[in-house]
Amino acid sequence: MNTLLQIAIDGPVASGKGDIAGRLAQALHLTYIYTGAMYRMLALSCIEQNVSTKDAQTVFALLQKISIALEPPTEKSTHPFVAKLDGRDVTERIFKQDVAIGSSDVGTIPEVRRWMVARQQAMAKDKSVVMEGRDIGLRVLPNAQLKIYLTATLEERTNRRWLQFKAKGLEKPFDEVLSDTKLRDHQDTSRPSDPLQKLPDAWELDTTSMTQEEVVERITQELRHRNLL
C-alpha cells in the first residue's frame, strides 16, 4: 500500500455509504470518518437546546460553542465509531428520525458546511482514511487517491430505508418513506453550498443489486487495478 491512502465516498441517502465505508476501512485497516455524524450531533444539540435547525445564524453560533468528536469504536460498540457531543456518547441517539431530519436542515447552511469541511480536513490530515458524506471528493478530500460515487435506484434506496425503519420497530408506509427519500435527494442536490454531485474524476458504482460484501470486494479490486493496494 502507498504511504498514504485516502478514499472519498459520496452518494445520495441510502446508497450504502456508511456500511460500505465502515467495512472497507476495517478490511484495509484505515481510519473511518463518518462526516454525517458531525451534522447529526449539531442537529441533536439544536433539539436539546430548542434551537430551530432552520435558523442559520443561531445554529452556526451554537456550533462554535459545542464539542463534537468522533472516536474509535469500543468492544461494545454497534457502530464503527463513537460519536461524542460535549463528552457524552450519543452514537445511538443521532440515528433517531428527528435528528436525521434536523441534520438535513443544518447541512444546508453554508457557514456550517465551511466549518465542518475545515474540521474534517484537519481530522484527515496526514492519515490514511475512508471518509464518506456528500461533499467529500469535492471539498473535504479533493486530492483523494480514489473518489467513489455510490448510488442505487430510488426504489432500492427507499426499500433499504423502509427496512431500516422496520428493524427499529417503526412501521412507516412505503410511500411515506419514498416521499421522504425524494425530499432528501432534493435537499442534497439543490442546497446552495456544495450540492451533491458526481464529480468527473469519481468512479461510480451502482449498488442496487449488490450485497455489502460484493461492494467492498469490487472497491478492493478497483484499488488494486489502480495500484493503490
pLDDT tens column, 136-155: 999 999 999 999 999 999 99
CATH 3.40.50.300 corresponds to the domain 6-210: yes
CA dist., res. 58 & res. 46, Å (int): 9
pLDDT tens for residues 37-80? 999 999 999 999 999 999 999 999 999 999 999 999 888 888 88
In the structure, what pLDDT confidence band is assigned to residue 208 with cuts at 50, 70 and 90?
very high
The whole-number pLDDT of residue 2 equals: 52
Domain residue spans in the chain?
A: 6-210
Task: For residue range 86-135, list pLDDT tens digits in order.
Answer: 999 999 999 998 999 999 999 999 999 999 999 999 999 999 999 999 99
Return d(Cα 26, Cα 187) in angstroms, integer: 31
What is the number of other CB atoms lying within 10 angstroms of the CB of residue 49? 11
For 5-33, what is the HEC assignment?
CEEEEECCCCCCHHHHHHHHHHHHCCEEE
Q: Check whether 214 has a pLDDT greater than 60.
A: yes
Among candidates 52, 71, 72, 70, which has minimal Cα distance to 62? 52
